[in-house]
Structure 1
């Protein structure tokens, strides 16, 4: 009996070691490729940007959305296909994703992976290329991609020095009827991260001081950005998707909530399942006045907090049966939907890697492309 137990323990350790090694290799290879193809991506984008200058802006955006979708499928190849991630959908998700509409995607914020979940949802709705984010201004400093995100229609905002006029200018571009959009906003602004309790305590105190509901699983949502979007895009957006994301393994056996997995952990395969609840709210039900938008948003987050209790409860039986209780629907991507993008970027990378001219062009694109994009963003002062 003792020998059998030792043997089982031995094989368990072997499996853990194998999982760790595979996860590390996936992280290294995936990171190198997703970041490494930036110059190739820039080259394709520059060709399309130049070719589309003589056409209306919506034609440029149509092609750019196709290109963006192609790259994000590469990202999903590593983060969903290779990790064998299971995505479970709840609420209005299945029906809403059939509609092919312009939406305001409002989601809770707890991880650096949250933006990837938007990829996972939008690709199932046939709208991956239409994703645009309200982003922290510091992301401008990403080489090459910092400029590209703005050119794609994303909106940079400064924390603490919010420029209302610049955000309105950016939103006006998205009002074009031929530019479909999934605009992603994380109203909390900062991640709800139990490992940093000071941020959570500060949010709770702010709620008490301002007679707002004290949330157990979210930070107090900021309303100004939501109000501007409601005001500027009220006639363009078809609906709000109230998205609540829950990562498997965040709660321990005692029902205590820990940190959600971050990018490195996720890519290493340490999260096997993501639960996504979507409530579709017609835009006609959303107020336009700033004060009313604030009340509406705080009520929305109060309801999101109540929903979160199903996943973060100390009742282990309820947690273990949450899919059945909330009528979860497992959703899978076809292998080809992401593998095709991986193969495409692998093929176009060959001449850049294997030829002297290709390596030289790669260096020039990386160096001068980064300097040019930083200069352009500095001159435009986009946020």
Structure 2
């Protein structure tokens, strides 16, 4: 391991990155609170400001992938469709097989300049979480409780609110509802068999209601669905902890642009269309597992410098108060003060590890995992 690689794997570096991220997030959240004063007078200005503020937070995570770990992201697409990316509103359908697939989705947004305005369908509980959750609240992210009877009305209202959004946005959605595991896949295929649906090898059965409502609510606002299938070369098993340690991965993303007018308006027909889409996605994954490549032309979408420059700005801004505190503590010579600082380091360490832990596959959602659900009853 070279010196740079060694430094990237050190806890103190991780601690500083976490400090910058949390410090930036809390400052941005505080500023976002005051932007609420703008909403009654100029809703569109409020939205534009919050897109820029949200970018300050989300771009730091993309920076880790692009610049810290140096992960390479190759896009496979049709060149004619490639020219449309970033110039229109879109629904992005992502597969959900890896710990960092959400990060690769954000990287896709960043390469085409829509990271700050990107939207997701998130659990309601996340809206109460500082930094990311609060950022999403001010960004008008659509939240749900995963109880469709209660969610249908609130999700539709949240989507309708985006119809006059002033920025190009991509709505990222994982139709499978949870990350792929062998146990969840086994249970999902039992459901497929019971419903007479073709079985999938590399995906879970998609949840059609949320997708159908999204298409229905954003019709005539969104131009296309970007069907996106992600994989990693050489059977790599990427993790967020690996990215934090500076490990380089090699991602391949196949994207098909499907005009929204090609998707049926009827909810049942839309559901059938989505099942067919996932059968096609499964065939792409199967071909990739055999050949190591996707259809289409490989395009290395250029990295933009803004994620790195944003991180350097916030790191520089927040370094001075941290350095001043450390100097004052050392000069005080108080064992009590130093002990408190050491305890805070341990707490931050545990907190960072727990945040990483929620992304790990074996600790993901229990949706679709019949055995886990039975144990929890």
- The TM-score normalised by the length of structure 2 is 0.78
Q: Which residue of 2 aligns with 1:191?
A: 179
Q: CA deviation at 1:149?
A: 0.9
Q: Which residue of 1 aligns with 2:243?
A: 266
Encode CA deviations 1:265-306: one digit per residue, 9 max, x unaligned.
233234421111110011111111110110000000000001
Q: CA deviation at 1:27?
A: 4.1
Q: Which of the residues 73, 76, 85 maps onto 1:90? A: 76
Encode CA deviations 1:132-189: one digit per residue, 9 max, x unaligned.
1101233234224323312212111222455111111111110115343211110000
Rounded to whole Å, the distance in 1 between the matches of 2:251 and 2:103 is: 11
Do the aligned residues in 1 keep the contact of 2:78 with 2:297 (CA within 8 Å)? no
Q: Which of the residues 282, 285, 308 maps onto 1:308? A: 285
Partner of 2:197, secondary structure, is: coil
Partner of 1:130, secondary structure, is: coil
Residue 120 (str. 1) matches residue 89 (str. 2)? no
Q: 1:291 to 1:112 in 2, by over 3 A?
A: same
Do the aligned residues in 2 keep the contact of 1:174 with 1:181 (CA within 8 Å)? no
Q: 1:109 to 1:21 in 2, by over 3 A?
A: same
Do the aligned residues in 2 keep the contact of 1:246 with 1:275 (CA within 8 Å)? yes
Counterpart mapping for 1:5-16 below 5 A: 15=1
Rounded to whole Å, the distance in 2 between the matches of 1:326 and 1:271 is: 24
Q: CA deviation at 1:108?
A: 0.3
Rounded to whole Å, the distance in 2 between the matches of 1:176 and 1:353 is: 42
Q: Which of the residues 188, 196, 204 maps onto 2:189? A: 204
Residue 297 (str. 1) matches residue 266 (str. 2)? no
Q: Which structure 1 segments of 5+ residues have no match?
A: 1-14, 252-259, 357-383
Q: 1:182 to 1:142 in 2, by over 3 A?
A: same
Residue 330 (str. 1) matches residue 329 (str. 2)? no
Q: Which residue of 2 aligns with 1:33?
A: 20
Do the aligned residues in 2 keep the contact of 1:97 with 1:124 (CA within 8 Å)? no
Q: Which residue of 2 aligns with 1:349?
A: 318
Do the aligned residues in 1 keep the contact of 2:78 with 2:296 (CA within 8 Å)? no
Q: CA deviation at 1:204?
A: 0.9
Q: Which residue of 1 aligns with 2:54?
A: 68
Do the aligned residues in 2 keep the contact of 1:247 with 1:271 (CA within 8 Å)? no
Partner of 1:143, secondary structure, is: coil
Q: Which residue of 2 aligns with 1:174?
A: 162
Partner of 1:128, secondary structure, is: coil
Q: Which residue of 2 aligns with 1:139?
A: 126
Partner of 1:148, secondary structure, is: helix
Q: Which aligned segments of 4 or more residues in structure 1 are displaced greater than 6 angstroms? A: none
Rounded to whole Å, the distance in 1 between the matches of 2:104 and 2:68 is: 15
Rounded to whole Å, the distance in 2 between the matches of 1:351 and 1:45 is: 23
Q: Which structure 2 segments of 5+ residues have no match?
A: 326-377
Counterpart mapping for 1:44-63 below 5 A: 44-50=31-37, 52-63=38-49
Q: CA deviation at 1:217?
A: 0.4
Q: Which of the residues 263, 268, 274 maps onto 1:286? A: 263
Do the aligned residues in 1 keep the contact of 2:22 with 2:131 (CA within 8 Å)? no
The aligned length equals 322
